Structure 1
Amino acid sequence: MNKYIVFAICGCLFFVTGFSQTKNIEELLNEIEQNNTELKGYQSYIESQQLEHKSTNNLPDPQLSGFYLPFGDNATGNYTEYQISQSFEFPSVYAARGKWNDSKSQLLESGYEKRRQEVLLNAKELLIELSFFQKQKAIETQRRTQSKQVFEQIQELFNKEQVGILDLNKAKIAWIQEQFVVQQIDSDIQILMSKLKTLNGGNPIDGISSQLVLSFEIRTMENLWQGKLSNEPRLQELKAIEAASIQKVKLEKNKVLPNLALGYNYQGFSGNNNSGFYGGISIPLWNSKNKVKAAEANYEYQQSNTEVITTSLYAQFQEIYNRYELMLEKYNEYQFAMGNLNSEQLLLKAYMLGEYSFMDYYVELQFYRNASDKMLKMERELQLLQAQLLKHQL
């Protein structure tokens, strides 16, 4: 029951405070899709491959041949012969090859879609990481301020000889550590921004929200899987490979039919000649041997391969979904336990009032900070797992 209450609260927060931010993420992903250099290059590659496929269905070049025989007794004059002809495969072969080319074009499109979603998933994961570090920086900046405040107070007490050098050194080290943590986070943020810039075709990304609010509620495992079956690029690519292989079978069956040739022929001597139409047909004895069987065997393999990969993908999906459900349950427990206790502020206030020694304050502070950091990391992990589960929606 508590789980559904948390889902409802998260959903409300998502629509009330996070809708514009979610839309902002979609805009950023659209921008990356438009500017990504790899995707632009892939589109050019697809166009070149499609044109190359079409070229395989062209007619052979027409042939022109001739004979002029002036040597010999030439009793009846010089002999002349020329012929122009056009050879071509059986008409149904061109139709079958055209469908095969269409299926290969669909396979290229599936490959592009798979790569597009991989790029966008990478970008979304970087945005999630960036949001995590920005939240962490805000927390650590506040902690740095508190550490400085504590150090300054202990410095005053040390000057008054009310505390020893050990407490002063511990407070100073705690403050230095917090400064280093903030600097490290700044470095991590710059690295992520550089990676996002690279994905965006070298263009800097502006307007990144510092607060990424996503609803943790997702559909049931079976509903999600049905959506993946319809939209998952890897599965769509497998279907496209199957479609191309069955079209290859149909093409090879049509290529068993004979090739044809038509043309015009002229033969003659001066004042005595003959001309007329030329026709030819090939006898398909050797060239097509075993090709139909090979295409059929390949189609059977592709069917089996699709089944194996689909089963493997479902197992991976199930594992990620179960991890997500387990982590979500633990995250909700953390969130319920932590609530809005504002423990660090209360501890600092108690320390300032002299209710805690520095060591007692520091030990208690680390306990609550570790719990807070754990919850923030769980939130990041939940968002990363959710991004994988919803990859097919990108």
Structure 2
Amino acid sequence: MITSLCLYLLLAVQARAQSTVAGVLRQVEANNKTLQAAQQYREARKLEYRTGLNPEDPFVEYVYFNGQPAEAGNQKEFAVTQRIDFPTAYGRKRRVANLQEAQADYQYAQQRQSILLEAQQATLQLIYLNRQLRVFEERYQDIEELYRRFQKSTRAGEGNVLDENKARVRLLDIRTTLQANRARRRVLEERLTELNGGQPVIVTDTAFAAVPAVPAFEVLDTLIEVSDPRLKTLEQQARVQEEKVELAKALSLPKLEGGYRYQSILGQTFQGMHAGISIPLWERRNTVNTQQAYSQYAQAQLESERVAHRQEVRQAYEEYRVLQESLQDYQELMAKPENLRLLEKALRLGEISAAEYFMELSFYYDTYDRYLELETEAQQKVAELLRYTL
């Protein structure tokens, strides 16, 4: 019955921790001022990409000349002309605009993912500090109780001042550590408040959720490459540049011009259609070569990022694997709390001195603190590897 109750409480705490992290991320996504500005900027860029896709505005011209002498009569001219690029250019312009809009979405997704990952890491760090605070407070109470016992023994003539001083120094160390912990928590809380658009974020959990399963490296690398907005942005940029090469070729073709013209002079009128075509000699010289160079640069940048991206994922995965192995060793070690009880019993029975007790206690505390650090590092490393799910 007790075992079932403990298991239920553990699962409840883990579920709460998971919901806490997810809840913080939902708040940050809704309230973060940088993301709100990025959304507006994305929409502005999309409107910009949709500008200039249509032909130039028609040009209307009216001319009136007074004749001299008067019997020469007056002259009137009226013309409406429309100039257009070669028809294939408009389809290319729209394809470039569509690709650029998708690129703007990926750029926003990259910024969103970066902010949410920072919020997630800060939340995990706060959970660690909350747990550390509780552990330090328990240690302080235990050492304070021991200090009072030494103090009482010294006054009764049964102890010595050296043992009392050792306990007092240990109390001071823990008190200093507690102050440092509270300061770090305040810094993280302020950062989370900033990420949440100035609205305070409350994180009171002291336990992590179970570490999510991480796929094998090859599977993970494929999943990240398929969905990583940073890579997607560069892939889209390469496509944009490829399409811009074709657009430059289309814009290098002759421009067409057509319209209507009317003329009146000496009581006679003339009217008819107007047509023209440009001769592409020097206006757009080197534009195709320029866009081809940009396209080659974008492709090289993409390939370089893919190589660096794979190495980055591999390094993070190896760090995660080492952390998991170390954490498992520490978990097996920390699963035997009777060592601490035996140490306290040995001190009470006088089997060990206070110096030996505090030395062994320091070793145990250091080991447990390292265990908490490893657990936090593992959680944060998994969050980094699974950032593509944000």
Which bracket does the TM-score occupy, shorter chain normalised? over 0.9
Per-residue Cα deviation, 1:248-285 (whole angstroms, up to 9, x for no partner): 11211211222122222111125211112222221112
Relative to structure 1, the CA distance from residue 122 to residue 357 in structure 2 (aligned partners, 3 Å threshold; closer, same or farther) is same
Match of 2:302 among 282, 298, 306: 306
On the 8 A contact 2:13/2:207 being kept in 1, the answer is: no
What is the total number of aligned residue pairs between the two structures? 383
Cα separation, 2, equivalents of 1:360 and 1:280 = 101
Cα separation, 2, equivalents of 1:310 and 1:74 = 79
**1:303 Cα offset (Å):** 1.7
Relative to structure 1, the CA distance from residue 248 to residue 162 in structure 2 (aligned partners, 3 Å threshold; closer, same or farther) is same
Match of 1:347 among 339, 343, 349: 343
**1:201 Cα offset (Å):** 0.7
Q: Secondary structure at the match of 1:83?
A: strand
| 1:33-182 equivalences in 2 (<5 Å) | 33-73=29-69, 75-182=71-178
Relative to structure 1, the CA distance from residue 216 to residue 346 in structure 2 (aligned partners, 3 Å threshold; closer, same or farther) is farther
Q: Secondary structure at the match of 1:65?
A: strand
Q: Secondary structure at the match of 2:50?
A: helix
Alignment of 1:267 with 2:267, yes or no, is: no
Q: Secondary structure at the match of 1:143?
A: helix
**1:377 Cα offset (Å):** 0.9
Relative to structure 1, the CA distance from residue 254 to residue 313 in structure 2 (aligned partners, 3 Å threshold; closer, same or farther) is same
Cα separation, 1, equivalents of 2:162 and 2:169 = 11
**1:218 Cα offset (Å):** 1.4
Cα separation, 2, equivalents of 1:331 and 1:212 = 14
Q: Secondary structure at the match of 2:137?
A: helix
Q: Secondary structure at the match of 2:76?
A: strand
**Amino acid across the alignment from 1:78:** N
Give TM-score, length-normalised by structure 1: 0.91
Per-residue Cα deviation, 1:74-119 (whole angstroms, up to 9, x for no partner): 5441111121222222222111111101111111111111111110
Relative to structure 1, the CA distance from residue 74 to residue 274 in structure 2 (aligned partners, 3 Å threshold; closer, same or farther) is farther
Per-residue Cα deviation, 1:316-374 (whole angstroms, up to 9, x for no partner): 21111112112211221121133132433432343234333211110110111111111
**1:217 Cα offset (Å):** 3.6
Cα separation, 1, equivalents of 2:167 and 2:259 = 99
Cα separation, 2, equivalents of 1:110 and 1:342 = 54
Alignment of 1:361 with 2:357, yes or no, is: yes
Alignment of 1:21 with 2:17, yes or no, is: yes
**1:178 Cα offset (Å):** 1.3
Relative to structure 1, the CA distance from residue 13 to residue 270 in structure 2 (aligned partners, 3 Å threshold; closer, same or farther) is farther
On the 8 A contact 2:211/2:379 being kept in 1, the answer is: no
Cα separation, 2, equivalents of 1:129 and 1:329 = 21
* RMSD of equivalent CA atoms: 2.0
Cα separation, 1, equivalents of 2:173 and 2:196 = 35
**Amino acid across the alignment from 2:156:** K
Which runs of no fewer than 5 residues in structure 2 stay unpaired? 1-7
Greater CA drift, 215-224 or 115-124: 215-224
Give TM-score, length-normalised by structure 2: 0.92
On the 8 A contact 2:21/2:124 being kept in 1, the answer is: no
Alignment of 1:253 with 2:260, yes or no, is: no
Per-residue Cα deviation, 1:39-86 (whole angstroms, up to 9, x for no partner): 110010111111112112233232222322224345441111121222
Cα separation, 2, equivalents of 1:247 and 1:316 = 30
Cα separation, 1, equivalents of 2:105 and 2:206 = 35
Relative to structure 1, the CA distance from residue 46 to residue 165 in structure 2 (aligned partners, 3 Å threshold; closer, same or farther) is same
Match of 2:374 among 372, 378, 385: 378
On the 8 A contact 1:76/1:269 being kept in 2, the answer is: no
Cα separation, 2, equivalents of 1:14 and 1:157 = 41
Alignment of 1:293 with 2:293, yes or no, is: no
